[in-house]
Amino acid sequence: MAMAEALQHAAPSPPAASAPLVADSKPAGVPLCFLVDEDASIRHFLSLALHGSGIDTVEFTDGAALRAALADKKPDVVFHNISLESGDAIESVIALGTQGFLGAVQLMSNRGAAVLDHVKTIGGQHNLNMLPVLKKPFGTEAIGKIIASLKIGNAGQPTAQISLGEALANKWIEFWFQPKIDLRRKRLAGVEAFARARHPQHGIALPLAIMAGASDADLFKLAELALLNALSAGDKFSKVGLNLAIAINIPVPALVKLPVPDLVKAHHKPSDKWGGLIIDVSEDQIIGDLTLAAELAKTFEPSNVKLAVENCGHAHAALSKIKELPFAELKLDRSFVTDCASNKVNAPLCKTVIDLAHGFGSTVVAVGIEKASDASALVTMGCDYGQGFLLGQPMPEDRFLSLLRQRTGAGGKVVVGA
């Protein structure tokens, strides 16, 4: 499974080559990127990576469509493929220069250096900010470095050191969503929500920056907020035709105090199509009290709320102890997923956990997939689902909803593979 192919989607019908593939208006204050590539999988891979960095995208199949769109929208950056006929890219570069484009131009191609340098030189002659040429194939790390160098989107915001209590009191907490992919069918199978804090001056703070030293009371408030947000998001996702199970992480001490069934009843309208919630609990927190786990799972089941065990692998010897409990998923820790295609320790460990989980009726989610080779190896091992930057970065709810609207094809399914 090639990396770009892993993010290909199906659309109801192919648009004309002269029309942009994304026509949504740009939200105020959000950087905009124009993407030009005849390969749909490359466009969609780039869109996922850029959306995760807080950058909106408009996709085009060729340079002619981009040049026509310049009359209506002004992007902050342009990613332009150089195909076998480099004339299309040259025309785009000249058009950008003629219009006095002040953003950055990122050429990309698998062609030889001479052709790439020729197009880049023409851009320089037209006073454009031509970035170093991006050779295909490339990964999310390369895209991240480009965005960081341009200081746009989330990459342009300094990480703020914010306490969880301060963030909660000022209502700075928001939740970003990362897709969970069915690795065999290459379809969107669910999402996981992650807490972020958006400081009005310092920008986005990641979990590590806000969780340090958090009190039990603040962790409980965050857990309740996460659950209520997941219920609200589930309703929004259903309106675009997708009934997705949403995973949230809640520490066990907070979970035992949280009135989950009551909150679901009060904040969610009953629906047969609701994807439900999955609450992730850490392996090291739950493995010592499986009786409690069983009680929680039984209590939550009528509300369509299921339990999953994350960080699996570190206490691998204890996996057999949970085989009788109704955990919906086991989440394979990223430290074992990384290099599982080649590492002589990680590969057999992943396979063992997958086989054990399947043996007692649970599905397996591999977390932190960043390499196409690892994704392919996990498919061969029989892993059910995957998450990671290869398949889609966490992104704000509005960006994720926008992406769902763009990617939802006939039948209300989002396809991420051919």
Kindly give the confidence (pLDDT) of every residue in the chain, 418 residues in length, as a single tens digit, with 9 standing for 90 and above: 333 333 333 222 233 333 343 334 444 467 899 999 998 878 877 887 787 777 888 889 999 999 999 988 889 999 999 987 889 999 999 999 999 999 999 999 888 888 888 999 999 999 999 999 998 888 777 888 898 888 887 665 545 568 899 999 999 999 999 999 999 998 899 999 999 888 887 777 767 778 888 899 999 999 999 999 999 999 888 888 888 999 999 999 999 999 999 999 999 877 767 889 999 998 888 877 888 988 999 999 999 999 998 877 655 445 666 666 678 899 998 888 999 999 998 999 899 889 988 988 889 999 999 888 999 999 999 999 999 888 888 888 888 887 777 666 534 455 444 3
- End-to-end, the C-alpha distance of the chain in Å comes to 10
Is-contact 68 18, C-beta < 8 A? yes
Using alpha carbons, list the distances in angstroms from residue 270 to 239, 240, 324, 354: 15, 18, 29, 33
Owner of token pair 């054990």: 356
Asked whether 1 and 23 are in contact (CB, 8 A), the reply is no
Query: Tell me, what's the pLDDT at 167?
Result: 93
Kindly write down the DSSP assignment for every residue of 76-135, as one continuous string.
SEEEEE--SSTHHHHHHHHHHHHTT--SEEEEEESS-HHHHHHHHHHHHHTT-EEPPPEE
Q: Please name each of the domains of the chain with its CATH number.
A: 5-156 (3.40.50.2300), 164-387 (3.20.20.450)
Tell me the C-alpha distance between 256 and 220, whole Å. 10
Q: How far is Cα 96 from Cα 66, in angstroms, rounded to an integer?
A: 10
Give the pLDDT score at 19. 39
Q: Which amino acid is at 79?
A: F
CA Rg value for the chain: 23
Q: What is the DSSP letter of 371?
A: -
Task: Dig out the tokens for 217 from the structure.
Answer: 């009371």
- pLDDT recorded at residue 4: 35
- The torsion angle over the Cα atoms of residues 379, 412, 18 and 60, rounded to 10 degrees, is -40
Q: How far apart are CA 394 and CA 52, in angstroms?
A: 6
Q: Sign (positive/negative) of CA torsion 273, 274, 279, 280?
A: positive
* Predicted local distance difference test score (pLDDT) of residue 398: 84
pLDDT of residue 155: 60
Q: Is the peptide bond before 137 cis (omega within 30 degrees of 0)?
A: yes
pLDDT of res. 256:
95
With 0-12 / 13-18 / 19 or more C-beta atoms within 10 angstroms meaning exposed / middle / buried, residue 207 is: middle
What CA–CA distance (Å, rounded) separates 402 from 247?
20
CB of 197 closer than 8 Å to CB of 175? no
Q: Give the whole-angstrom CA distance, residue 346 versus residue 331.
A: 15
Give the integer Cα–Cα distance in Å for 90 and 134.
16
